[in-house]
Structure 1
Amino acid sequence: MSTKKGLKIFVDGYLLNKEHQGTKTYIRELYLEFAAQNPDILIVFGCFKDPSIEKEFSEFKNIRFIYFQQSSRVLRMFFEIPKIIKEQQFDFAHFQYVIPFLKSKSCKYIVTIHDVLFNDFKAYFSYQYRLKRNFLFKYSAKKSDFLLTVSNYSKERIKEYYKLRNKKILITPNGVNKSFFLSYSKKDAINYIQNKFGIKDYILYVSRIEPRKNQQGLLKAFFDLEETNTQIVFIGVKSLNNKELISLIASLSAAQKKRVHILKNISDSDLLLFYQAAKVFAYPTFAEGFGIPPLEAAALRIPVLCSNRTAMKDFDFFSPYFIDFNDLDATTKSLSKILKTQNPVHLNKIQTLIKDTYNWEVSSKVLTSIIKKKT
């Protein structure tokens, strides 16, 4: 189906200026692929000026930037963004989780709500946190012209909580960047991480630091291991206070603390090398709307010990290292076994499956069907 000339989409890309997280990856990777598939559509990111962001998208002539002036997200959503959409006459505008209250009649609004985990796992979120998000997410889900999410799990939970029986919800699943499938030298990666960070022989975790992510459970299992040469690395910023993890780390001996590394603000290039040099990747989270990091690690043929909860039920290809991290004894045994057992054939099979199943072309085609009026 042909597209009208001059079709334009505005993307609220403020998360591109933030730390590494799944939603940032979603915006960047989805639109890198979408730009390649649709050179006839102009994509304009709204974000704060950052040369590194411009560089990531520099190969595409159909990607441009509008730089926000308002540091307050509330002021941006109420005033600045509606003004931008009206003045620039965008045909579509894409937001993460929340759309502005002031809608332009000539623009179609797309929102991606990645999850509503705070409803199923209330113990990990304050009442104020849940109240605010439920109000904003429900409004955005109902008032948007197109509602997207990233997994079947999230789709069903959003539909149930916000009573959206007649609202069509499209799935734009997360994928894995092609760089994770390139060949690399394990030895070179190990040497790089050891020389720059002084860390080697480690179990890796990548994601935000907060209670539902269960870093505390992984750390308990780690110190139940019989061997004492392995270290553990947590890479991620603290988004919610994890009191149990803080208390656990405080109780460790000086020797034990030396084996635990909590890092943040790691560059994408260094993060890739951290993945490559890891002995094992562990993802102990209790609740996810999707879960990209274990797929990224497996794409690099790193052995993965993965939670089997919520949206990650789809990741059963990680079996037999696909477990319920509520069982500390089983977690310790699985962690011990995966550290000792390497199965290159199995790792290659998982890599191939991920490459075929979790790629951004799938999500880009869904978005294209919206923009080009096929949905």
Structure 2
Amino acid sequence: MRREAADYTHFQYISPLWCPTPTLVTIHDLLFLEPEFKAHFPWTYRWLNGLLFRLSAQKAKILCTVSAYGQNQLSRRYGIDSQKIVITPNAVSAQQMSLDKAKKRVSGYALDRFILFVSRVEPRKNHKALWRAFETLALHKQGFKLVFIGKKEWMDPDLEAVMQQSDPSLLEAVIWLDSVPHEDLWAFYRAAALFVYPSLGEGFGIPPLEAAAVGTPVVCARNTAMVDFEFFPYLVDLNQPESLEKAMNAALNDPEYPAQQIAEAIQNQYNWSASAKSLAQAIEQSN
């Protein structure tokens, strides 16, 4: 870094204790410090990263995060003026394809009509809520499959209990895929009848934006960073009884779902040019 005479060095989350250049640090969120999410992170992770994230944030010449939620967390937890924390949102670069091409591609997985959730499996992602909603609406009896794409990193005991109590016909309608090729993922997004994201908390929340960017209806939880996704007509409070089921049913039967308007809003709000402009402005102001 010294040889290259860099003006700044960028680090994700943690910067070294000593750096020959000013540091630019991006910290996406501090979910592991919030009481409602602590149980989802090992105590060693919370202790070590709690210390290193704080040091990195407080030493940074420029501190960035990806959402207003993250900005509020960093300001509140680390005592940093929110005006000094730059929001540089993640961007969505959708791979567009026709619906016919997408359906043909996913037909190789023996799929036709399906509900999709893309996320690694862990308790915070709340797969069990979608499983229950799918079962309550009896969508498997209407010819739908439920597709989960993501590695089973930390299986939720509550989800396992729900699965064990499910009817065999429902179990046959649920498809688990650890991973799929990149182009297949975009085909899944495009071909899904509905994308559902019931996560209990996110520092940002890329998957629902990716699904919506290709024109697929989305039902998304309204919490943490995802409260910013106001363009979704079905943004649900998971604390309200049957809210997920009601939203899914409405979205599946909404002939006027504004898919094109939502895709355009995402493209306008979440693109790398806008984030780069925010970062460039912060660098200019810091000099």
TM-score (normalised: structure 1) = 0.70
Q: Structure 1 residue 281 and structure 2 residue 233: aligned? A: no
Using CA pairs under 8 Å that are at least 6 residues apart, name the structure with larger relative contact order, 1 or 2.
2
Q: Which runs of 5+ in 1 are unaligned?
A: 1-84
Q: How does 1:187-202 map to 2 (within 5 A)?
A: 187-195=100-108, 197-202=109-114
Q: Structure 1 residue 164 and structure 2 residue 80: aligned? A: yes
Report SS of the residue matched to 2:128.
helix
Letter in 2 for 1:312: M
Q: 1:260 aligns with which of 138, 155, 174?
A: 174
Which residue is equivalent to 2:262? 350
Which residue is equivalent to 2:213? 299
Contact 1:303 1:342 in 2 (8 A): no
Alpha-carbon separation, structure 2, partners of 1:352 and 1:167 = 28
Stretch moving more, 335-344 or 296-305: 335-344
Alpha-carbon separation, structure 2, partners of 1:312 and 1:154 = 11
Post-superposition offset of 1:254: 3.3
Compared CA separation, residues 294 and 119, structure 1 to 2 (3 A): same
Contact 2:105 2:184 in 1 (8 A): no
Compared CA separation, residues 226 and 258, structure 1 to 2 (3 A): closer
Q: Which runs of 5+ in 2 are unaligned?
A: none
Contact 1:172 1:366 in 2 (8 A): yes
Which residue is equivalent to 1:13? none
Q: Structure 1 residue 124 and structure 2 residue 36: aligned? A: no
Which residue is equivalent to 1:359? 271
Alpha-carbon separation, structure 2, partners of 1:306 and 1:166 = 27
In the TM superposition, what whole-angstrom CA distance separates every residue of 1:214-259 from its partner, at most 9, and x where no partner exists? 1111111111113421111111224444222233233334332221
Post-superposition offset of 1:315: 1.2
Which residue is equivalent to 1:173? 89
Which residue is equivalent to 1:50? none
Compared CA separation, residues 131 and 167, structure 1 to 2 (3 A): farther
Report SS of the residue matched to 1:318.
coil
Post-superposition offset of 1:326: 3.1
In the TM superposition, what whole-angstrom CA distance separates every residue of 1:132-182 from its partner, at most 9, and x where no partner exists? 2211110110122211001111101111111223882111012211x34x4
Report SS of the residue matched to 1:350.
helix
Post-superposition offset of 1:275: 0.4
Post-superposition offset of 1:86: 4.3
Post-superposition offset of 1:130: 1.6
Report SS of the residue matched to 1:252.
coil
Alpha-carbon separation, structure 1, partners of 2:240 and 2:82 = 39
Alpha-carbon separation, structure 1, partners of 2:253 and 2:81 = 49
Alpha-carbon separation, structure 1, partners of 2:156 and 2:202 = 17
Q: 1:339 aligns with which of 241, 252, 257?
A: 252
Alpha-carbon separation, structure 2, partners of 1:117 and 1:323 = 20
Matched positions, count: 282
Post-superposition offset of 1:112: 0.6
Compared CA separation, residues 89 and 150, structure 1 to 2 (3 A): same
Which residue is equivalent to 2:56? 140
Which residue is equivalent to 2:280? 368
